[in-house]
Structure 1
Amino acid sequence: AAAGGMNAQQIVDMLIQYSKYAIPSNIVTDIREYINRYGRIKLVRDGDELLLKSEDAALITEVIHHKRTQPYLLGQIDRNTLLVDSARRGHIKQALIHIGFPAEDLAGYTDGSALPLKLRPETLLGKSFEPRGYQYAAAAAFYAGGAPSGGSGVVVLPCGAGKTIVGLATMADVQKATLILTPNTVAVRQWIQEIIDKTDIPPEMVGEYTGERKDIAPITVSTYQILTYRRSGGEHGDENGQEYFPHFSLFTSYDWGLIIYDEVHLLPAPVFRVTAEIQARRRLGLTATLVREDGREADVFSLIGPKKYDVPWRELEQQGWIATAECHEIRVGLSEDEQMTYAMAELREKYRIAAETPAKLNVTRHLVERHQGDQILIIGQYLEQLKALADELEAPLLTGRTPTGQREKLYDQFRRGDIKRLVVSKVANFAIDLPDANVAIQVSGTFGSRQEEAQRLGRILRPKSDGGLAYFYSVVTRDTRDQEFSANRQLFLTEQGYRYIIEDAEELLAI
């Protein structure tokens, strides 16, 4: 909130306005103290030197003596200024946020290679194109007119709201060589298609760097997976036999002026480490939710940047930019035999027993019949369950084992309407553009992941040409770990204003 320009009084006033009861004085005090910590310490550049400055000399003394920050300090210039190792800009920011004093980074950026780029007024197919108002606003909030206060941060928009267009608008603002990182190869090709379709950049200036191709161009699109490919020990290790990541050289192989992290909430730990070492590059994170189940939100804040722009999901729904969604939780029961197996199982086994109950198949079949003519995604976690559903529904199955070419073929058939239903694993959670999908049936997931729930709803939130609703069904096993995890999964969407209609499977099937 502080990084976004809010002060303590604004936050307290908002809480008072919307709270049913009086705000306890200790909460108000904590808010004032915490909000005032941001910006008390700043990173600035003086020539070639990186400096840590604060008007609070006692805070500077605390930083000097804290074991987390000591490895990155080169000395003290005066009572308010410390000299920082320029190569450890990201590391000192991580250390400072861990000790409770997030730094405001005003040290600026390396320009990067120039790349003149304009957005097209018409796509290659002749359709008029103009970013929406909130997409322009998001790009402007990130870039900040080129000021040191801009150039690093995260834009949070709902799935289906056009985060890729925000990326293109930012590229048009920055006008520099750009590296784009995405979750998978299908997403890489979608980005490349959008860049060529909606900007004046010729195709030969856009490179794909994946497991299949290794092209580096002024705009290069790659995956987190290829970057985190590693070799260990032996002839492929370093001199100490430690693992290393051969494709990390992509970060330094070109004079990038901007790095875009698509679905930044998925950023793997190794990419965090290398990002800590490239803080002089502008960094834009794009995501639908900053929720991370591993608790590393602070690393996103310190290494990518603070949240620069955020729009509530329901607000864009009301404006017609994403589809209106109706969410249902349908509860099934275990058979007597399954109940005994569940009762005797170890805790870690209970969820899978509940998640894979055959009772979910009957409900899924019923929902598919109810939505004949709609574009339906059946989404799950466990391959045996998905295979059974695909066989029962006579639908194609798409998993992590499906070759990229086959995935793209199935997605294209689904987009054209040649396929009306598609059974998918978690590979379809992220960065897949299926604009006509309007029904999602979730049969299992990654335990209590709020992030995954939001992403799966997002698969069906593209606005529909007929203005129709999107339907999200979560099929859950009653009185089990499955139901417990489901309650946790729904928390983020509940905060966004969505409500789940609870239905009993027996009553549903009796209709």
Structure 2
Amino acid sequence: MTDDEVPAAGDENGPETDEDAAAGDDPTVEDDASSGLASEGDAAEPTVALDEFHDALEDAGRPVVTASEVGRTLDRDQSEAVGALEGLVDRGDVRRVDVETDPVVWYPTEWGEIADRERVVPFPKRREIVVDQPSQFTRAQLSQFAHLADVSGNEAYRYEIRKEDVWQAPYDSFDRLLKTVRQVLPERLDGLEEWIEDQWDRARQFRLFTHEDGYTVLEARSAELMGNVARQKLDESQLRAPISDTESWVAEGSEAAIKRTLYEAGYPVQDQRDLDEGDPLDVSLDLDLRGYQSDWVTRFVDSGSGVLVGPPGSGKTVAAMGIMAAIGGETLILVPTRELASQWRDTLLAHTDLDPEDIGEYHGGEKNVRPVTIATYQTAGMDRHRQLFDERRWGLIVYDEVHHVPADVHRRSADLQTSARLGLSATPIREDDREKEIYTLIGPPIGTDWDALFDAGYVQEPEVEIRYVPWDQETYQDEYATAERHEKRQLAASNPAKVEEVREILADHPGSKALIFADYIDQGDELAEALTVPFVSGEMPHARRERLFSQFRRNERDVLLVSRVGDEGIDLPDADLAIMASGLGGSRRQGSQRAGRTMRPSGKARVFVLATRGTTEEEFARRQLQHLQSKGVRVREVDSELDDGA
């Protein structure tokens, strides 16, 4: 597959996969060479035996598989797997299903009944959808317009369709959104479709635009909306005076507050202002964008604002540099930590024609404002530094790790003047449920279906397992029963039985590059001593930490143990095995970020989350992985094989 063949979410034509290229529209293949058949007179043998295909099904844990999954099991590249599968199709042993905007899936002919085990049950009055044993296609499509609210075991998924899910659906027309809804639901539900269309329309009732005389105007679709909603919800400090029955003059600097207020009233505002283009900046990339990255750039430039939402390893930073080149204006890049600022500087110097004197850093350790300036959120929001950023004519502001923006200490950065705002995040979610403010303050989501990137091989789909570990009875079980709430969480997280479980997982995956995550310092020290590996925490000097990471990248070390300091803001190396020995109380962002360390294109991606059986850690572990599940990643739940008295 070429880069250009990977579409954005909601593309009417769907992604063209390597299977499509091999098979075309015909479910059989006429060319023996391309189908993986070996000629032997009139009888041809496929290059993969049926029992090997069954092994791939067993590894996947479901009755249908994609070619990439078969390739991983049999150590073949995707094109070889496609050809081999077509050989089995030609024999009649295997069938294939082409699903619009989803990878081709394959299943044994005699398993036709099993392939239909997925059940989608809508509850339109509650706007809920329960799916039993959902396919990757169904999970990926539902993620476009619904919220994964709950997962029961490995099979039952409960989705809610919230108004903000419809407002933020990544489509440019209601017809395309409706097409996705109808692909997933087993029948047409007129009442639900009418509600979705109503929410779609509500997100298009108000807009901000620039008057020819230079000031900002708020426009409503009707006089009733302007009078009964906008002028009732907004005060004179925000709307200075009426211009007409449907238009009002906006007070300078109150645009963000207006957008927040109307959003909370149920009416997202389309921001179509002609903002100052900023001082020009000529930037060129020295690398080629993938097809979906080019699509992100085009969609962003068309809208002037948005949040790139893609899985870890999909190249959001690269796409951001492509947007910088397309905008051609001086750029402010906001990051949560100084270390991320240094990483951005190094990346810009490595992949653009910018000179070192073109790039400045502005934070506690360095204070230089240049045509491209990288600053921390905290510094940019301080009153004593604010004027420097306000005075600059920015063409683009990039909000890296944009999920930080709704926090009170960071949200002032959203008021900085610029002609374009770009957010970046693999996990635009917050446990305080303020993620909707990300899109209000910065712009709508722009992304590509994760399953399309998995199938294309750009990002590795992780194999994720929650493993329930028994208590170390002798030391901890009695203590847990009498402990207070926070102490209970720490005791469960630090269950000593997890040490042996980590050993078992490492032994089962020899040669893997493994990152082990521990949230508690005492647990990290215990694991480090037991495994004889270094424990990277906030207490470790920066120079030693970087030396260990460098050794891990060069394959001089196979295992590193990392505290919460590795979740965000440092250049943590990639791995092919991640073990979460403990986690931050069910944080979905933390779970996705840690799993994301394995999701680069090469190698295998395996993720294990350890949870102490019979404690709140069970629910925390499931919640941690909800964001991944909502993107189509399958999560298995198993019991440890350790004895109860381990």
Q: TM-score range by the shorter chain?
A: 0.7 to 0.9
Q: How far 1:79 sits from its partner (Å)?
A: 0.6
Which residue in 1 is equivalent to 2:271? 105
Q: Give RMSD over aligned pairs.
A: 2.3
Q: 1:488 aligned to 623, 627, 641, which one? A: 623
Secondary structure (helix, strand or coil) at the match of 1:87 reads coil
What is the CA–CA distance in structure 1 between the aligned matches of 2:621 and 2:247, rounded to whole Å?
Answer: 50
Q: State the one-letter code of the partner of 1:411.
A: F
Q: How far 1:389 sits from its partner (Å)?
A: 1.4
What is the CA–CA distance in structure 2 between the aligned matches of 1:28 and 1:86, rounded to whole Å?
Answer: 39
More displaced stretch, 52-61 vs 309-318: 309-318
Q: 1:458 aligned to 593, 596, 599, which one? A: 596
What is the CA–CA distance in structure 2 between the aligned matches of 1:201 and 1:173, rounded to whole Å?
Answer: 15
Q: How far 1:69 sits from its partner (Å)?
A: 5.2
Q: 2:300 aligned to 132, 137, 142, which one? A: 142
Unpaired stretches in structure 1, ≥5 consecutive residues: 121-128, 145-149, 229-243
More displaced stretch, 153-162 vs 245-254: 245-254
Q: How far 1:296 sits from its partner (Å)?
A: 1.3
Secondary structure (helix, strand or coil) at the match of 2:510 reads coil
Residues 1:131 and 2:296 are matched in the alignment: no
What is the CA–CA distance in structure 1 between the aligned matches of 2:625 and 2:643, rounded to whole Å?
Answer: 21
Q: State the one-letter code of the partner of 2:460.
A: A
Contact kept? 2:472, 2:644, Cα under 8 Å: no
Contact kept? 1:90, 1:275, Cα under 8 Å: no
Q: State the one-letter code of the partner of 2:472.
A: S
Q: State the one-letter code of the partner of 1:37.
A: R
What is the CA–CA distance in structure 1 between the aligned matches of 2:300 and 2:391, rounded to whole Å?
Answer: 25
Unpaired stretches in structure 2, ≥5 consecutive residues: 1-165
User: Taking structure 1 as reference, are residues 382 and 334 closer, same or farther at Cα in structure 2, changes over 3 Å only?
Assistant: same
Q: State the one-letter code of the partner of 1:130.
A: D
Query: How do residues 52-71 of structure 1 correspond to structure 2 at under 5 angstroms?
Result: 52-68=218-234, 71=237
Query: How do residues 93-492 of structure 1 correspond to structure 2 at under 5 angstroms?
Result: 93-120=259-286, 129-144=287-302, 150-227=303-380, 245-249=383-387, 251-252=389-390, 254-267=392-405, 269-270=407-408, 272-307=410-445, 309-336=446-473, 338-430=476-568, 432-433=570-571, 436-464=574-602, 468-492=603-627
Secondary structure (helix, strand or coil) at the match of 2:471 reads coil
Secondary structure (helix, strand or coil) at the match of 2:636 reads strand
What is the CA–CA distance in structure 2 between the aligned matches of 1:368 and 1:30, rounded to whole Å?
Answer: 50
Which residue in 2 is equivalent to 1:45? 210
What is the CA–CA distance in structure 1 between the aligned matches of 2:329 and 2:542, rounded to whole Å?
Answer: 30
Q: 2:636 aligned to 485, 501, 510, which one? A: 501
Contact kept? 1:275, 1:303, Cα under 8 Å: no
Higher relative contact order (CA 8 A, sep 6+): 1
More displaced stretch, 36-45 vs 430-439: 430-439
Q: How far 1:247 sits from its partner (Å)?
A: 4.0
More displaced stretch, 442-451 vs 391-400: 391-400
Which residue in 1 is equivalent to 2:25? none
Which residue in 2 is equivalent to 1:86? 252
Secondary structure (helix, strand or coil) at the match of 1:286 reads strand
Normalising by structure 2, what TM-score?
0.70
Q: How far 1:33 sits from its partner (Å)?
A: 1.4
What is the CA–CA distance in structure 2 between the aligned matches of 1:37 and 1:279, rounded to whole Å?
Answer: 27
What is the CA–CA distance in structure 1 between the aligned matches of 2:232 and 2:514, rounded to whole Å?
Answer: 55
What is the CA–CA distance in structure 1 between the aligned matches of 2:172 and 2:327, rounded to whole Å?
Answer: 26
Contact kept? 2:552, 2:573, Cα under 8 Å: no
What is the CA–CA distance in structure 2 between the aligned matches of 1:451 and 1:130, rounded to whole Å?
Answer: 30
Q: How far 1:432 sits from its partner (Å)?
A: 4.8
More displaced stretch, 388-397 vs 99-108: 388-397
Q: State the one-letter code of the partner of 1:385.
A: Q
Q: How far 1:279 sits from its partner (Å)?
A: 4.9
What is the CA–CA distance in structure 1 between the aligned matches of 2:274 and 2:496, rounded to whole Å?
Answer: 57
Secondary structure (helix, strand or coil) at the match of 1:372 reads coil
Q: How far 1:191 sits from its partner (Å)?
A: 1.4
What is the CA–CA distance in structure 1 between the aligned matches of 2:447 and 2:502, rounded to whole Å?
Answer: 35
User: Taking structure 1 as reference, are residues 508 and 134 closer, same or farther at Cα in structure 2, changes over 3 Å only?
Assistant: farther
Contact kept? 1:158, 1:312, Cα under 8 Å: no
User: Taking structure 1 as reference, are residues 31 and 505 closer, same or farther at Cα in structure 2, changes over 3 Å only?
Assistant: same
What is the CA–CA distance in structure 2 between the aligned matches of 1:404 and 1:180, rounded to whole Å?
Answer: 23
Secondary structure (helix, strand or coil) at the match of 1:104 reads strand
User: Taking structure 1 as reference, are residues 6 and 167 closer, same or farther at Cα in structure 2, changes over 3 Å only?
Assistant: closer
What is the CA–CA distance in structure 1 between the aligned matches of 2:418 and 2:353, rounded to whole Å?
Answer: 27
Q: State the one-letter code of the partner of 1:502.
A: E
Which residue in 2 is equivalent to 1:241? none
What is the CA–CA distance in structure 1 between the aligned matches of 2:330 and 2:582, rounded to whole Å?
Answer: 41
Q: Deviations over 1:358-377 (max 9, x none)?
A: 11111112222333332211
Contact kept? 1:90, 1:278, Cα under 8 Å: no
More displaced stretch, 270-279 vs 454-463: 270-279
Contact kept? 1:248, 1:274, Cα under 8 Å: no
Contact kept? 2:279, 2:329, Cα under 8 Å: yes
Which residue in 2 is equivalent to 1:240? none
Q: State the one-letter code of the partner of 1:80.
A: T
What is the CA–CA distance in structure 2 between the aligned matches of 1:219 and 1:225, rounded to whole Å?
Answer: 18
Q: State the one-letter code of the partner of 2:289.
A: P
What is the CA–CA distance in structure 2 between the aligned matches of 1:222 and 1:141, rounded to whole Å?
Answer: 26
Q: How far 1:58 sits from its partner (Å)?
A: 0.4
What is the CA–CA distance in structure 2 between the aligned matches of 1:276 and 1:493, rounded to whole Å?
Answer: 28
Q: State the one-letter code of the partner of 1:282.
A: A
